A and B are shown apart, each in its own frame.
Chain A
Amino acid sequence: MQRFLSFLTVLGFLFFQVAWAEEKQPDQVLKEMMGEVLTTLSSDESYRTDTAKLNQLVEKNIFPHINFRRMTALAVGRDWRKATEEEKTRLTNAFTALLVRTYSNALANYGNEKVVYKPVKMSEGVTEVLAKIEIQQPGSKPVNFDTRLEKKEGTWKVYDVAVEGISLVTNYRDQFAQTLKKGGFPALIDLLENQSQSLINKK
């Protein structure tokens, strides 16, 4: 097992080098982002019960490929422009923390479903693209997992995901709007920070 792991590490390192040499395409980014996490999850049961360990795995493999700031901006909507720089940073951090807790828990339920990465249709020079993933499970309709990526400084990063057409960003917009209307950005930051804190305490 030990030897196999080190073999994998070397292989991963090689892949990393090769991938670095040529510019990575969106579907490649997704494969890289999900592949490692899913293989680890299916080979090591301990990740399912150890939340800290799981969060670490997610932070290491998934974080670098996500543009959390844009994700937060889109969830806030047009009012984003009215926020101060400090509010933007705090909001992004709080929202990120909340998303990580909930989605890590969802990952813990991963039961070796087959993940299919659909080829991405894209024309020369585009900077935003839709990449589709299909999660196939026996006995039910395949689940569509659509991701939106943007190219910035030569790298593709995810800024929205939609499961069965339900966009994460759009989903939070109405919830954010309610709080923003009542208490502005300070209230929203408070709410998000408290929400993820209560999730930590529950564990």
Chain B
Amino acid sequence: MRFFFCLLGFLSCCAWAEENLENIEKNSESTVENRDSWEAFNRKMFKVHTVVYKSVVKPVAQTYGKIVPLPVHVSLNNAFSNPTDLWVGANNLLQGKPKSAGSDVLRFLINSTLGIFGVFDVASEMGIAKNDEDFGQTLAVWGVPPGKYLFIPGIGPKYTRDAIGWLVDSNPLWWVISPIRARNIALGVNALETTVQILPLYQMVEESGIDPYVMIRESYFQRRNNQIWDGEAPITEEEDDYSKE
């Protein structure tokens, strides 16, 4: 009996999530113009971020990236990424996608065992690809509007909705590592690895951007939309006859 209620609750959750997804588009369109109404403040924050990035973060990450050999980078990234599949799975469940949630849990099980504590991403080799979900996306699927655009130094671009989601997001790995010192070292290495990965991307933004601030903002808007729709965002048909000559 209890199971029945759970199932019923879950199914209504699914239906609700699906219905909300249809409303997202309207939400995001209506706010497109005034999403960055804190631009003056954001630009100041972006300046602070850029200065710190160029003078400290970039040189440190570059050196670290060069010292550590590639296979070590890959293994570390795999190991850090493995427990997040559980969190991704939980979000998939909350978004009414039990199938994807199942594949996330399966990935975790395979990689934790055959992949030796997640050091090797065996699941991907087997064709079970990693999903990309976080709590901000779950909120979006539930119909929470994106809110305002924020640029936070050291963290980067975030909608207010996704900043809240980001606070909730967590890698289950940090819950189980003890003592605290070991956990802090792991956190540090993880941060370094993440930075190493975005180095080439950042360079591209610097070089291709006429206005890097706008470049990052527009990229964030588009990427976020793409993530929420799991890569299947509806194409907004716009009049583009002017470009066909």
- Which residues of A come within 8 Å of B, CB atoms? 69-70, 73-74, 77-78, 80-81, 98-99, 101-103, 105-106, 109, 136, 138-142, 144, 150, 159, 162, 164-167, 170-176, 178-179, 191-192, 195, 199
Contacts and interface: CB of A to CB of B under 8 A. Distances in A.
Given A73-B245, A139-B77, A171 B219 contact: yes
Of residues B81, B204, B207, B218, which shows the largest number of chain A Cβ atoms within 10 Å of its Cβ? B207
Given A165-B225, A166-B219, A171-B218, A139 B243 contact: no
Contacts of A103: 208
Given A102-B208, A139-B78, A141-B132, A165 B243 contact: no
Interface string B206-217: 011111001101
Interface in B67-91: 73-75, 77-78, 81
Main SS at interface, chain B: helix
Contacts, number: 93
B223 A175 contact: no
A73 B240 CA distance: 9
A4 to B, nearest CB: 27
Given A80-B242, A140-B77, A99 B226 contact: no
Nearest to B79: A139
Contacts of B204: 102, 105-106
Contacts of B210: 172, 175-176, 179, 191-192, 195
Contact of B207 (A69, A102, A109, A175): A102
B208 A98 contact: yes
Interface of B: 73-75, 77-78, 81, 121, 124, 129-132, 197, 200, 203-204, 207-211, 214-215, 217-219, 222-223, 225-227, 231, 233, 239-240, 242-245
A29 B227 CA distance: 28
B219 A174 contact: no
B209 A80 contact: no
Contacts of B244: 70, 150
Contacts of A99: 208
Given A102-B204, A175-B215, A139 B74 contact: yes
Contacts of A171: 215, 218-219, 222
A175 B121 contact: no
A167 B238 CA distance: 14
A81 B233 CA distance: 29
A84 to B, nearest CB: 14
Nearest to B78: A139
Contacts of B218: 166, 170-171, 173-175
Contact of B222 (A105, A165, A192): A165
Contacts of A172: 210
A144 B239 CA distance: 25
B77 A166 contact: no
26 contacts: A69-B245, A74-B240, A74-B243, A102-B204, A102-B207, A102-B208, A105-B204, A105-B207, A106-B200, A138-B78, A138-B121, A139-B74, A139-B77, A139-B81, A141-B129, A165-B226, A166-B226, A171-B215, A171-B218, A173-B218, A174-B218, A175-B209, A175-B210, A175-B215, A175-B218, A178-B214
Of residues A138, A174, A179, which shows the largest number of chain B Cβ atoms within 10 Å of its Cβ? A138
B200 A109 contact: yes
A105 B203 contact: yes
A17 to B, nearest CB: 31
Contacts of B215: 171, 175
Contact of B226 (A164, A174, A176): A164
Contacts of A192: 210
Given A139-B78, A140-B130, A170 B222 contact: yes
B209 A165 contact: no
Nearest to A134: B129
Shortest Cβ-Cβ A-B pairs, 3 listed: A165-B226, A73-B243, A102-B208
B240 to A, nearest CB: 6
A70 B227 CA distance: 27
Given A101-B207, A165-B225, A176-B210, 13 more contacts: A70-B244, A78-B239, A103-B208, A138-B78, A139-B73, A139-B74, A139-B75, A162-B222, A165-B231, A166-B226, A167-B222, A170-B218, A175-B210
